[in-house]
């Protein structure tokens, strides 16, 4: 059994096994063709390249879009550090793409309460992280007319009726089985799945969305346990099951494992300056040969090469990426050349993010966070 | 071990054992003398007659009052039925007395969420019960300038930061041990103790009360487990332990056991008309002799006689009560005479309540429920 929960991810993730174990489905090429046809927009590179690889019931959202029925997107962020890293942007960049192609409202849950219950942090610290993280999220370029960002602490009164409906239908046994909780789990943690589940139902947004809206949740696959539970409850409280689209994890700069904000050498922060980014990339875990001769003979192992994997995520140009794949894997490009390609790709992304972010004011934040019809 | 939790009370309650098991203290005559002296007001008949019989740390509230330090009262009601019974009035009548003698602010929690989590009721039904119950509570004559009534659903956003502080410090083990929960308990129930505990801390009322206010909780003794937990947590989150004052249960009209709104023959509803009240009292469980001759010989057993026990609660006139005790216990008064005494005592109380209640408008309710400095 793989060991993936929302709070822990093992180093070696076998995504095939995960799909089998979780009971989700691979995103098929038929599904991608349908999506491209329906939305009349090119498919996102992360779908083509398999970064978003798994789903639940994505066809029902396509049906919904096809019939012009109301739908919305729901994603979230746990504000456990002031500085987000480039991996944290992925669900939001992808969600923005979905928002654009489906022209759909989007709600973003900031789980300040979760971080307080799990981490050794004060509420004041988390309040700062929440605000700073919201600035990063807004900087993605989300449409303020169609995006509602809320913190659980601030929005709890609107969520609470739906939370109660969910709480009533989840036993401690179920919560323990799905999340690996035990008797030493605190009662807030035991209860938290109801809080993350609530925004998957339109009753949580009665002032913002039509009550018949169907929900699509883009998220990393480790969040799936929450939404398996949510999907089980949906019919019991009179709503459609939310659809899901899952991403893989972004690799740590240090090699196998997940990029993590709590390990400064594993990640590139959105606040890192150019020399820092360059230094981190140059030191990142490589799949190149151990010597120049071996590299030229056998080429690089792209399956474990972090710079290439990051290029595979962040580089827009398919042709250039194919060129690098071809030549690096055959030893005709060196690791340092590939790392330089990654610098050239990532540094502008981070700098651009920093510029956009610096222009975000309290008024901008308010624009996204006040309650209004979307 | 006695079997008293907030959701179940055994038929025969041994209050001595309960005090030992719960670890509370009897209210001593010294304490009553101190209270009478400090407040310069006569002691309530329910203190003299032992209906409120147990406490935790009542002296610290007296100290607080003596030093003119801020304090407040906290009590509550679970709105599980539209019609309250006369027993439900007791904590509120007593709390009004405390409010008057201490000139203290009072907060009243309506646990609409609890009733939804425990009962087979819809949210809409509970909303109706909540409003109707609030009318009954207001009719007690509470001072609207010093009383804040809130429903958890409506006030949750103000409570939530304090709830999180509590949740973080209560494991499922603790919640199970105190409340008898198990793995089949739903996650909302498991979490509910944090919600009932929160108003015992002034941080729940940052817009209403000074943050240094000390809390006194008048309640029936079955609510004590919530507040033992609350007192354990208090120092961990930087607040004083709340003080408590406990009442016994009001007996069922049917004999041993607790008056219950879900059993129409066990209770007198505040909506009952005169013939119904009279009929219920006349049919109530008596400790009189089985025949006239036996009654005259041995007298009534007042320990099990419901009409006398209710007179002992509701009759103001000490002399008349002594007269009845003396003569009824010696068989010189008949059961029907005592039942008639009870009718004469209770009917005006209920009628008076009904008249006051009929004058309560939505504006009156709003007066008590809006957030303001108390």
Q: What is the pLDDT of residues A140-152, one digit of tens each?
A: 999 999 999 999 9
Q: What is the pLDDT of residue B2?
A: 45
Say whether both B269 and B203 belong to one domain.
Answer: no
Q: B261 pLDDT band (50/70/90 cuts)? A: confident
How many C-beta atoms lie closer than 10 Å to residue A120's C-beta?
7
- pLDDT exceeding 70 applies to what percent of chain A? 97
For residue A34, give the nearest of A75, A76, A62, A3 by alpha carbon: A62
Q: Does A190 touch chain B (CB under 8 A)?
A: yes
Q: What is the C-alpha to C-alpha distance for residues B19 and A240, in angstroms, rounded to an integer?
A: 51
Residue B220 shares a structural domain with residue B279 = no
Residue A178 near residue A225 (C-beta atoms within 8 A) = yes
The CATH number that applies at residue B349 is 1.10.240.10
Give domain status of residue B127, yes or no: yes
Residue indicated by tokens 């970064």: A51
Do both A286 and A218 map to the same domain?
A: no
Residues B139, B269: one domain?
Answer: no
| Distance separating alpha carbons of residues A183 and A119, to the nearest angstrom | 18
The CATH number for B169's domain is 3.40.50.620
What is the band of B257 on the pLDDT scale with cuts at 50, 70, 90? confident
B341 and chain A in contact, CB less than 8 A? no
CA–CA dist B19, B41 (Å, integer): 27
Residue B362 host element (H or E): helix B362-369
For residue B150, the chain A residues in CB contact (below 8 A) are none
Using the 3D structure, point to which of A211, A236, A252 is the last residue of a domain.
A252
Could you report how far apart the first and last alpha carbons of chain A are, in Å? 42
Q: How confident is the model at residue B72 (pLDDT cuts 50, 70, 90)?
A: very high
pLDDT at A262: 81
Flag whether A26 is in a domain. yes
Q: Are residues B70 and B179 in the same domain?
A: yes
Region A244-260: mean pLDDT is 90
Among partner residues B113, B161, B183, which is closest to A153 by beta-carbon distance?
Answer: B161
pLDDT at B124 over 80: yes
Q: Which of residues 164-183 of A touch B (CB under 8 A)?
A: 164-165, 167-173, 175-176, 181-183
| Residues contacting B130, CB < 8 A, separation 6+ | B79, B110, B112, B151
Tokens 């005479």 locate to B337
Q: CB-based contacts of A166: which residues, under 8 Å, 6+ apart?
A: A193, A194, A197, A198, A230, A233, A237
Return the half-sphere exposure (C-beta side, CA atoms, 13 A cut-off) of residue B121.
21
CB contact under 8 A, B171 and A188: no
List the single range of B83-92, B200-209, B255-264 with lowest mean pLDDT: B255-264
Say if strands A251-252 and A255-258 run parallel, antiparallel, or are unpaired: antiparallel
Percent of chain B topping pLDDT 90: 87
Q: Average pLDDT for residues B232-257, to the nearest whole number?
A: 93
Contact flag A156-B156 (C-beta cutoff 8 Å): yes
- Do B341 and B236 fall into the same domain? no
Task: Give the residue numbers spanning the domain of A178.
Answer: 15-252
With an 8 Å Cβ cutoff, are A184 and B168 in contact?
no
pLDDT score, position A10: 52
Pick the range with the lowest mean pLDDT from A327-336, B52-61, B248-257: B248-257
CA distances for A331 relative to A34, A268, A317, A342, A343, angstroms: 38, 27, 21, 17, 20
| pLDDT for the residue B274 | 97
State the best of A154, A172, A174, A177 to mutate against chain B, taking most chain B CBs within 10 Å: A172
For chain A, what is the domain count?
2
pLDDT digits (tens, 9 = 90+) for B162-212: 999 999 999 999 999 888 899 999 999 999 999 999 999 999 999 999 999
Average pLDDT over residues A6-26: 78
Touching check for B191 and chain A: CB below 8 Å?
Answer: yes
Helix, strand, or coil (residue A256) = strand
ipTM of the complex: 0.92
Judge if A232 and A267 occupy the same domain: no
């Amino acid at each position: 059994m793989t060991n993936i929960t929302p709070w822990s991810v093992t180093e070696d993730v076998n995504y095939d096994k995960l799909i089998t174990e979780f009971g989700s489905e691979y995103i098929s090429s038929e599904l991608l063709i349908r999506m491209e046809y329906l939305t009349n927009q090119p498919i996102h590179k992360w779908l083509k390249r398999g970064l978003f690889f798994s789903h639940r019931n994505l066809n029902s959202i396509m049906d919904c879009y096809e019939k012009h029925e109301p739908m919305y997107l729901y994603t979230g962020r746990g504000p456990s550090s002031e500085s987000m890293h480039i991996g944290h942007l992925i669900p939001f960049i992808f969600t923005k793409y979905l928002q654009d192609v489906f022209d759909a409202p989007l709600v973003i849950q900031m789980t300040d309460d979760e971080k307080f219950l799990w981490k050794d942090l004060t509420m004041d610290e988390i309040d700062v992280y929440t605000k700073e993280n919201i600035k990063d999220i807004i900087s993605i370029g989300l449409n303020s007319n169609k995006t509602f960002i809320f913190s659980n602490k601030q929005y709890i009164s609107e969520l609470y009726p739906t939370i109660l409906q969910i709480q009533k239908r989840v036993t401690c046994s179920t919560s323990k089985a799905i999340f690996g909780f035990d008797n030493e789990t605190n009662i807030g943690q035991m209860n938290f799945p109801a809080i993350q589940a609530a925004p998957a139902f339109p009753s949580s947004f009665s002032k913002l969305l039509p009550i018949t809206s169907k929900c699509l949740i883009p998220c990393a696959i480790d969040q799936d346990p929450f939404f398996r539970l949510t999907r089980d409850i949906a019919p019991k409280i009179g709503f459609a099951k939310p659809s899901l689209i899952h991403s893989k994890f972004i690799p740590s700069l240090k090699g196998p494992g997940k990029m993590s904000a709590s390990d400064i050498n594993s990640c590139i922060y959105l606040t890192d300056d150019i020399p820092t980014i360059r230094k981190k990339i140059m030191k990142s875990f490589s799949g190149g040969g151990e010597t120049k001769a071996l590299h030229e003979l056998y080429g690089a192992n792209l399956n474990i090469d972090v710079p290439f994997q990051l290029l595979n995520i962040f580089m827009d140009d398919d042709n250039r990426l194919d060129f690098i794949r071809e030549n690096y894997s055959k030893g005709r490009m060196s690791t340092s050349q590939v790392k330089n390609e990654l610098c050239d790709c990532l540094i502008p992304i981070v700098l651009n993010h920093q510029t956009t972010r610096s222009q975000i004011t309290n008024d901008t934040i308010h624009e996204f966070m006040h309650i209004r019809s979307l």
